[in-house]
């Protein structure tokens, strides 16, 4: 491979790299401590000098859920499969907040960090990756609220919980795939930055957050599940409500996000070489 | 093979220049342009990183066919004007940006110090920022753990190490950043203009550290406007001009050649319209002469003998019996530094031709390194005739005439005095 460090001989060849190349794992491992500190930096910086601090991680999804519960649960009477709408919606808000937060933060991350990018070399993928990793803290905090809600509504998830880690991997894969794509694009095309907030808001209605996938007619359901967030969100519901796991959708979600991830990572690598020139 | 550390082979780097937008004449045309804009913009943005047709006129060669070799353990300098391609070259060797053509080989871990304190975040403590900056420079957490105490001690900000960086003074930030850099273990270190910050004592500390690093058998690639520092530190250098390699060899020769090549200071003064005064007699040109080489220049070494040549011509007055000329020197922030005036020296400029040249000679020009702005004024036969601001920018380069390694920089005041010391 071109443009990489051969650690054994410690000789680096610097030249214009080939158009498409895959992630350089050796280098990612070599710089892993940087990833850790970039993530810590992201977390600390976000909640610095804020009165409510990490409470924001609870306030944001919880209040959105309360509003949705009033609008869609009470007024529009959206079917929540017999589950209290508040819980039905909040379970979906967990992965959704992670997904949308990662997308908005990561897509501008490279542009925001252009001072670092133009001054020193390191695996550029760490910038959007650390933005995504930092989001797990918010996720963990909101997760505590979910546990409280489960106790309040006296719901026992049962054995489905063992599949939870699988869904977390899927969620991270989907989020990273889009984050890599959009962050690399936004370096050259700042339109991404302008469009992202808007896009994320729209996407909410293309995912089963305020409604259930089961309310879509059976003929279209599987097509709908091509949206990788469908498998993740319905998977979350099944895990915490103890209903049947929608394995078909989860498999689809994994496949779609894996393909998307491979493409995005390759695109990111391809764009990476010009980041310092156009950032 | 030989024991080289960096081998650069025909490296070129292209950038695309901004092109002036087409202006529309009619409303219809401008509506058309607005509609076409997204397509047009997309093409422009796309082209920024794609080069197919090298004959396109808006392509700019930041570097062109650069080749050289740096030996292991050598301190190597890069000299050149702003825009000569020095920083681009460093960025390519630090792998921040890729060359468009050519290749380079680097043996060993490389670390680039293009800025002090890269990655510092105001909302983190000094201690956390050491880790942040250190890992960005390619160190591992373990390496930093081991050297943390030394780094903190070297930085001299022990008392504040656990307060947030945003409460640091700019000097403290620089110290902390340099302290991290001083403890890097990479075999090759690339340094760009780092010494331009901080006070003189700190700069001396930095230079000392770099000499230290170099004596440990590590390789240093060094770019600076401080030609004195390059001469002290680097035995060999290359000279770049407009992206091309002009010469390479002994640093002293390269610095000499660089100073000699600064022969372009002919301001289009006659074109200037932003003048004050009646205009009976006007300036037509100004030149700065380095009296050692007797050439026009815009860059002078602090302490050298220089002359200002003032070209004037009279539009109305037939007889110039009493001319008074003043040259005002400002620093780059428009702080008034000094003023030269023929009346101060009791010199009468009378009986002059309708047009001619007046020379003002200044021996031992005492300004310290930096950029200076020159304003000029002219009175003829008791009438204020001409005044122009910023007619010339003079870049002064630091000198070390006593070979002490103790440069005279901004933090030791504004002027450098000739001095002699002895016990008495």
B47-59 pLDDT, tens digit per residue, is: 666 666 666 667 7
Task: Compute and round to an integer the Cα radius of gyration of chain A.
Answer: 20
Of B334, B331, B328, B326, give the one whose Cα is nearest residue B414: B331
pLDDT at B194 (0 to 100): 62
Question: Are B400 and B317 in a shared domain?
Answer: yes
Note whether B89 and B205 are same-domain residues.
yes
In a domain, A221, yes or no: yes
CB contact under 8 A, B103 and A115: no
CB contact at 8 A, B282 and B313:
yes
Question: Which residues of B fall within a CB distance of 8 Å from A28?
Answer: none
Ramachandran region, residue B58 (left: φ > 0; alpha: ψ -120 to 50; beta: rest) = alpha
pLDDT in tens, B187-239: 888 888 665 566 666 777 777 888 888 888 889 898 877 777 788 788 899 99
Is B9 a member of any domain? no
B138 touches A: beta carbon within 8 Å: yes
pTM attached to this predicted model: 0.73
pLDDT at position B282 is 92
Residue A5's pLDDT band, with cuts at 50, 70 and 90, is: very low
| Residue of chain A whose alpha carbon sits nearest to that of B131 | A37
* Separation of alpha carbons B254 and A132, rounded Å: 50
Tokens of A39: 């993530």
Nearest to A121 among B94, B99, B135 (CB): B94
Binary contact (B102, A15; C-beta < 8 A): yes
Same domain for B89 and B237, yes or no, is: yes
Q: What single DSSP character describes residue B22? A: P
- Average the pLDDT over A100-109 and give the result: 93
- B133 touches A: beta carbon within 8 Å: no
Cβ <8 Å between B119 and A14: no
Q: Is the CB of B91 inside 8 Å of chain A's CB atoms?
A: yes
Residue B138 to residue A122, Cβ atoms within 8 A: yes
- Gyration radius from chain B CA atoms: 26
Residue B195 distance to chain A (closest CA, Å): 16
Considering the domain architecture, whether residues B224 and B287 belong to the same structural domain is answered as no
Say if B67 falls within a structural domain. Answer: yes
Q: Report the largest interatomic distance among the alpha carbons of chain B, rounded to a whole angstrom.
A: 87
Q: Is residue A6 part of a domain?
A: no
pLDDT tens column, B259-278: 776 544 444 777 777 788 88
Q: Given a cut of 70, is residue A55 above it in pLDDT?
A: yes
Count of CB atoms situated within 10 Å of the CB of B223: 23
Query: B397 falls in which pLDDT band (50, 70, 90)?
Result: confident
Q: How many distinct structural domains can be found in chain A?
A: 1
B148 domain-assigned: yes
| Partner residue facing B136 (CB), from A118, A120, A189 | A120
Q: Name the burial class of residue B151, with classes exposed (0-12), middle (13-18) and buried (19+) by CB atoms within 10 angstroms of its CB.
A: buried
The overall average pLDDT reported for chain B is: 83
Q: Which stretch of A50-64, A153-167, B185-199, B344-358 has the lowest confidence by average pLDDT?
A: B185-199
The pair of three-digit structure tokens given for residue B189, joined into one six-digit string: 């270190």
Domain residues for the domain of B43 are 18-57
Q: Does B218 touch chain A (CB under 8 A)?
A: no
Of A31, A116, A277, the CB nearest to B118: A116
* pLDDT of B355: 87
A66 or B184: which leads in pLDDT: A66
pLDDT in tens, A163-213: 999 999 999 999 999 999 999 998 878 788 888 888 999 999 999 999 998
Instruction: Over range A97-109, report the average pLDDT.
Output: 94
Assess whether B109 and B250 both reside in one domain. yes
Q: Which of B242, B260, B278 is the last residue of a domain?
A: B260
Contact state of B95 with A14 under an 8 Å Cβ cutoff: yes
Better-scored residue on pLDDT, B387 or A9: B387
Q: Which chain B residues contact residue A278 at CB under 8 A?
A: 45, 48-49
**CB atoms < 10 A from the CB of B218, how many?**
21
Would you call B5 an interface residue with chain A, using a CB distance cutoff of 8 Å?
no
Q: Which of B103, B123, B140 sits opposite A44 (nearest CB)?
A: B123
Which of A36, A41, A278 has its CB closest to that of B124? A41
Share above pLDDT 70 across residues of chain B, in percent, rounded to a whole number: 87
State the maximum Cα–Cα separation within chain A, in Å, rounded to a whole number.
68
Judged by CB atoms closer than 8 Å, whether chains meet at B136 and A33 is answered as no
Give the percent of chain A with pLDDT over 70: 96
B400 lies in some domain = yes
Using the beta-carbon criterion (under 8 Å), do B94 and A120 form an inter-chain contact? yes
pLDDT for the residue numbered B266: 44
Look at residue B376 and tell me if it is in a domain. yes
Checking if the pLDDT of B1 tops 60, the result is: no
- The A-side interface with B (CB below 8 A) comprises 3, 10-17, 31, 33-34, 36-38, 40-41, 44-45, 48-49, 115-122, 188-189, 273-274, 276-278
CA angle B151, B154, B160 (to 5 degrees): 80
Within a domain: B12? no
Cα separation, A102 vs A168, whole angstroms: 14
- Does B216 lie in the same domain as B136? yes
In chain B, whose CA is at the least distance from the CA of A276?
B97
Same-domain check for residues B191 and B280: no
Q: Does residue B50 sit in the same domain as residue B96?
A: no
Does residue A11 fall inside a structural domain?
no
DSSP string, chain A: -TT-EETTTTEEEEEPPPSS----HHHHHHTHHHHHHHHHHHHHHHHTT-SSGGGHHHHHHHHHHHHHIIIIIIIS----TTS-HHHHHHHHHHHHHHHHHHHHHHHHHHHHTHHHHTT--S-TTHHHHHHHHHHHHHHHHHHHHHHHHHHHTT---GGGGGGHHHHHHHHHHHHHHHHHHHHHHHHH-THHHHHHHHHHHHHHTTTTTSS-GGGS-HHHHHHHTTSHHHHHHHHHHHHHHT----HHHHHHHHHHHHHHHHHHHHHHHHHHTTHHHH-
Q: Is B99 part of the contact surface with chain A (CB cutoff 8 Å)?
A: yes
Look up residue A163 and give its two tokens: 């599949």
Across the interface, whether the CB atoms of B118 and A276 are under 8 A apart is answered no
Q: Last residue of a domain, which of B226, B260, B294? A: B260
pLDDT computed for residue B200 by the predictor: 63
Same-domain status, B39 and B129: no
pLDDT at B21 over 70: no
- CATH number of the domain residue B130 falls in: 3.40.50.300
Residue B7 domain flag = no
Of the candidates B224, B300, B309, the residue with the CA atom closest to the CA atom of residue B262: B300
Contact flag B136-A40 (C-beta cutoff 8 Å):
no
Query: How distant is the alpha carbon of residue B343 from its chain centre?
Result: 35
Residue B309, in any domain of the structure = yes
Q: Is the pLDDT of residue A72 over 70?
A: yes
Residue B350 pLDDT grade (very low, low, confident, very high; cuts 50, 70, 90): confident
Do B161 and B91 fall into the same domain?
Answer: yes
More confident residue, A144 or B200: A144
Task: Establish if A122 belongs to a structural domain.
Answer: yes
B236, B260, B284 - which closes a domain: B260
Domain range for A87: 25-278
Query: Is the minimum CB–CB distance between B97 and chain A shorter than 8 Å?
Result: yes
The answer to whether B14 contacts chain A (CB < 8 Å) is no
Q: What is the mean pLDDT of residues A150-164?
A: 92
**Beta-carbon contacts below 8 Å between A and B:** 116
Dist. CA B414–CA B18, nearest whole Å: 39
Q: Which of A166, A123, A76, A169 is nearest to A272 (CA)?
A: A123
pLDDT score for B412 = 67
Q: How far is A237 from chain B (nearest CA, A)?
A: 38
Is the model's pLDDT at B394 over the cut of 90? no
Q: Mean pLDDT lowest for which of B25-39, B69-83, B390-404?
A: B25-39
Q: Are B27 and B109 members of one domain?
A: no
Give yes or no for a contact between B135 and A33, defined as CB atoms under 8 angstroms apart: yes
CB-based contact A120 B45, cutoff 8 Å: no
- Please check whether residue A150 lies inside any domain of the structure: yes
Interface of B with A in 27-46 (CB under 8 A): 42, 45-46
Inter-chain touch A16–B97, beta carbons under 8 Å: no
Domain total of chain B: 3
Partner A contacted by B148 (CB < 8 A): no
Average pLDDT over residues A21-43: 88
Residue A87 domain-assigned (yes or no): yes
Residues A44, B48: C-beta atoms closer than 8 Å: no
B105 lies within 8 A of chain A by CB: yes
Q: What is the CATH number of the domain that holds B388?
A: 2.70.50.60
**Closest chain B residue to A17 measured between Cα atoms?**
B98
Looking at the structure, do residues B339 and B396 belong to the same domain, yes or no?
yes
Question: Is A119 within 8 Å of B118 when comparing Cβ atoms?
Answer: yes
Which pLDDT belongs to residue B371? 80
Nearest by CB to A37, which of B96, B106, B135?
A: B135
* CB-CB under 8 Å, A11 with B118: no
């Amino acid at each position: 491979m071109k443009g990489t460090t051969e650690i054994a001989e410690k000789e680096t060849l610097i030249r214009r790299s080939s158009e498409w190349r895959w992630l350089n794992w050796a280098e990612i491992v070599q710089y892993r401590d940087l990833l850790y500190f970039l993530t810590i930096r992201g977390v600390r910086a976000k909640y610095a000098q804020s009165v409510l601090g990490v409470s924001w991680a609870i306030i944001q999804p919880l209040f959105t859920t309360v509003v949705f519960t009033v609008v869609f649960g009470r007024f529009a009477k959206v079917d929540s499969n017999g589950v209290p709408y508040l819980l039905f919606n909040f379970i979906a808000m967990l992965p959704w907040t992670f997904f949308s937060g990662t997308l908005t933060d990561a897509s501008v991350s490279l542009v925001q960090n252009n001072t670092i990018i133009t001054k020193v070399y390191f695996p550029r993928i760490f910038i959007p990756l650390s933005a995504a990793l930092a989001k797990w803290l918010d996720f963990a905090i909101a997760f505590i609220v979910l546990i409280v809600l489960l106790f309040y509504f006296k719901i026992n998830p049962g054995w489905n919980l063992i599949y939870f880690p699988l869904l977390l991997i899927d969620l991270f894969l989907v989020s990273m795939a889009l984050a890599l794509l959009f962050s690399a694009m936004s370096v050259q095309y700042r339109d991404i930055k302008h469009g992202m907030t808007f896009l994320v808001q729209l996407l909410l209605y293309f995912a089963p957050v305020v409604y259930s996938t089961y309310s879509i007619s059976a003929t279209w359901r599987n097509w709908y599940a091509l949206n990788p967030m469908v498998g993740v969100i319905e998977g979350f519901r099944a895990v915490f409500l103890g209903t049947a796991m929608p394995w078909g959708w989860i498999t689809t979600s994994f496949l779609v996000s894996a393909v998307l991830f491979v493409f995005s990572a390759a695109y990111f690598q391809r764009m990476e070489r010009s980041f310092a020139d156009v950032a | 093979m030989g024991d080289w550390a960096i081998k650069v082979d025909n490296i070129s780097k292209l950038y695309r220049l901004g092109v002036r937008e087409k202006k529309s004449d009619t409303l219809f045309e401008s509506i058309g342009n607005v509609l076409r804009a997204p397509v047009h913009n997309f093409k422009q943005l796309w082209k920024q990183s794609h080069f197919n047709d090298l004959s396109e006129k808006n392509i700019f060669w930041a570097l062109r066919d650069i080749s050289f070799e740096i030996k292991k353990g050598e301190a190597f300098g890069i000299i050149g004007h702003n825009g000569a391609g020095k920083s681009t070259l460093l960025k390519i060797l630090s792998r921040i940006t890729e060359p468009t053509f050519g290749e380079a080989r680097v043996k060993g871990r490389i670390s680039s110090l293009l800025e002090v304190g890269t990655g510092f975040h105001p909302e983190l403590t000094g201690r956390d920022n050491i880790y942040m900056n250190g890992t960005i420079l390619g160190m591992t957490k373990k390496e930093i753990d081991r050297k943390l105490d030394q780094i903190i001690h070297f930085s001299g900000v022990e008392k504040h190490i656990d307060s947030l960086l945003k409460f640091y003074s700019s000097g403290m930030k620089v110290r902390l950043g340099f302290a991290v850099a001083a403890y890097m273990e990479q075999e090759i270190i690339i340094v760009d203009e780092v010494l331009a910050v901080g006070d003189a004592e700190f700069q001396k500390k930095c230079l000392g550290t770099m000499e230290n690093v170099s004596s440990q058998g590590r390789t240093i690639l060094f770019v600076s406007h401080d030609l004195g520092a390059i001469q002290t530190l680097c035995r060999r250098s290359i000279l770049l001009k407009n992206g091309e390699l002009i010469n390479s060899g002994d640093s002293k020769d390269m610095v000499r050649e660089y100073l000699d090549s600064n022969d372009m200071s002919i301001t289009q003064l006659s074109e200037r319209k932003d003048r004050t005064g009646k205009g009976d007699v006007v300036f037509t040109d100004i030149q700065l002469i380095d009296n050692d080489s007797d050439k026009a220049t815009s860059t002078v070494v602090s302490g050298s003998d220089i002359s200002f040549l003032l070209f004037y011509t009279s539009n109305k007055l037939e007889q110039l019996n009493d001319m008074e000329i003043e040259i005002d020197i400002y620093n780059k922030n428009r702080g008034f530094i000094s003023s030269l005036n023929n009346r101060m020296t009791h010199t009468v400029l009378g009986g002059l031709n309708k047009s001619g040249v007046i020379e003002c000679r200044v021996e031992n020009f005492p300004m310290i390194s930096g950029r200076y702005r020159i304003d000029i004024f002219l009175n003829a036969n008791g009438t204020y005739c001409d005044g122009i601001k910023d007619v010339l920018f003079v870049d002064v380069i630091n000198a070390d005439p006593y070979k002490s390694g103790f440069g005279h920089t901004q933090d030791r005041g504004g002027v450098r005095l000739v001095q002699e010391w002895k016990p008495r």
